[in-house]
A and B are shown apart, each in its own frame.
Chain A
Amino acid sequence: MKLTESLSFRNVTGRPGRSAALVILTFLMAVSVVCGTLTVTSLRTGLGALEARLGADIMTVPASAVSKQNFENIVMQGSKGYFYMDRSYYDKAAEREGIEKISFQLYLASASAGCCSVPLQIIGYDPETDFTVSPWIRKSAGRELGDLDVVVGNDLSVFVGSTITFYGVECNVAAKLDKTGTDLDTAVYTNLNTIKKLIASSVELGMNEFTDIDPDRVVSCILIKVADGYPVDEVLNDLNLHVRRTKSFRTKDMISGVSDSLTGVSDIVGVLMCAVWLLGLAVLFLAFRMSVNERKKEFAVLRIAGASKKKLAGIVMSEALMITLAGAAVGIIIGLLMMISFNGLIEESTGLPFLLPDGGAVALCAVFALAVSVIGGMISAVWTAGRISRIDAGVILRGEN
């Protein structure tokens, strides 16, 4: 450490009260930037994960389900609930023009009663036709699911290789999925044979709202991928017109509600983050200015002892760098811990897909927060250093006496 830097260090440590106040200000700036940036990034990552898992262009559900309040959440995010329609609707939809791929899913919500290990949403897919969930189930399980195998969402506290019981039927946990930041993280996926067994068992136990359904003859949701060259809207209108008693939706439109909310939340978080940063910058600016004014005579003494204007500015800048680095580093660590600890709560309170990005992106957020906080502090210090350097030591000494 150079002697002038050692002097800066002593100036910082020799005035613990003043330094602590400046460190706290930088800390607050860093916390706001890291939390704000991570919140916006996590919301976008969550939406990306949700989009990636949907895979279909169009979803068709029974018209009666549309009146149910949370049908979008059931379809989109895996919230608990279920509805059924006759399989003939699936056959009718498959006959329409412009359809490249078509599959269906069956839904069932497990009960909180003793027959089930845990209440959650069970989603059954048809491995032969599925084009939405199979790729990432195969990726997680490393194989196709056998009968009575299930793949569980990331938030469920069950181990791979253990068993889980639904309506008295014991299922094997074959794999755990990556996190999505939605209710899909508490859902369970299984193949068609297994879900049919579970539905049949729930009906037998008298625990299904639909008392007289035949699991072999029903579907919950039809998933459609539109063929190239066909406008999605055209196929959608065709389905709504010809497949009666069902309602078809464009998945992007369903996501757009989530996306709009996400944009709104992102904007608010962004504005709040900028406001806190600007406020922090203004307070830091005033704090540095006050601190330098208070020490004007000390700076004059340094000039007398032979410090050039450049060296004086260097001492002030070194002090500012030490303070802002300390504040920003602590702020980033605390901010990251807060985001990791409370991300579930944020997801719950916003009702939006919220998924912390991977380590690389988190590191980038941390570097960004460090840069923004340190730059904020340094801008304030540069101004005050420039100001103090321009004044003759003789003028300061004259003014002080």
Chain B
Amino acid sequence: MHSLRKLATAVAAALALAPVSVLAQDAAPVKIGVVAFLSGAAASPFGVPARNAAELVIELMNAGKAPAPYDTKGFGGSKIETVIIDESGGTTTQVTEFRNLVQRHNVDLVIGYISSSSCVGIAPVAEELKMLTNFFDCGTPRIFEDASYKYVFRTSPTSTMDSVGAALYLKDAKPKMKSIAGINQNYAWGQDSWVDFEASMKQLMPKIEVKMSQMPKLFAGQYNAEISTLLGSKADAIHSSFWDGDLEALILQAAPRGLFKKSTGVLTTGETAMYKLAKQIPDGTILGARGPFGPYAPDNAYNRWLVKEFQERYLVPPTYPSYQMAQAIMGVKLAWEKAQAANGGKRPSKEQVAAALENSTFEGPGGTVKMAIGKGHQAIMETAYGMSKVVGGKMTVTKVKRYPAEMVNPPEGVKSADWIKGGFKK
């Protein structure tokens, strides 16, 4: 009796498992390496929201629960598996771990990298190893301006767009303004952001007076001396690309001294702090979200889907790194499936997926993403800026203005810096 039941169970199990294993053979999983900061200062504002978005979106895609045309299971029917890696430890460590992802874990593609130095370091290695790699967040325009790649993509816009968009909005919002000043962190991101913003302002308002540029060191934490000098400069607007801890410290220390009441604050990554510091950000502060993300995201099916699912699982709304990660996965999924269809339904090669992603256009939670520059490897998107306004104790944005992608991004083959200096020629 006992052995009979055992036999029956075994047979049943074998029958149940058989179709699964046949299916599994048909569609070997697609292995994605996901790299984002999981430790250090950039983890909580960027890395963790991005990783959360990756886990959420991939899980929903595996279940076939994403809105069309992303509703096929996994990537073209193949289940998605992930290998998640921390981005900390410096470029040498990152290059080592990238090689490990490719040659030890045999991933099919890599989506990741928040720090621009990681991206600059990884790009040639990805090319050497012929590994399809999509940068989802890093900002420097140098990557596709200084070199061209076959296997490397970036489905998020560059930091140039943030600075140009901020300058356009400031001009529209305060046409009578006479002077600007800046406070930015003294490292590549802060330097580039200020250089682009200053050059754009000089193009848009040739008579503008640049009072000063403060460059405190990264993670300084204390800005009282800088706030004093900025107050003394009496500039009409103050630009800052500070993020996370530094941004919060600046807002908190500026609030009692009324810096952003006396001068209009232009906070290009202000979105990441707006809900937390609703009381300290004066109404009328210009807030950016590095593109049409978060409060500036269009009301489309993908955005509603991402916000609902993200809020449900993590109890907070998605911020721009989550949007960027989601659209990075969506863009690659679409290219993968296009390549698979062109390949007669068989699993596409990396070269075929790369060819499909090149110059492609797709819709995501932030609206239309066009892989239009960098020989079809660099995305452009529209951008939006608005002003803070507390309504009933809740932070919102008002006077939102949108700028089309071609207006805030250089055309193909033109370097960002030259494009700004040349007067934004299309």
A and B, one complex?
Answer: no
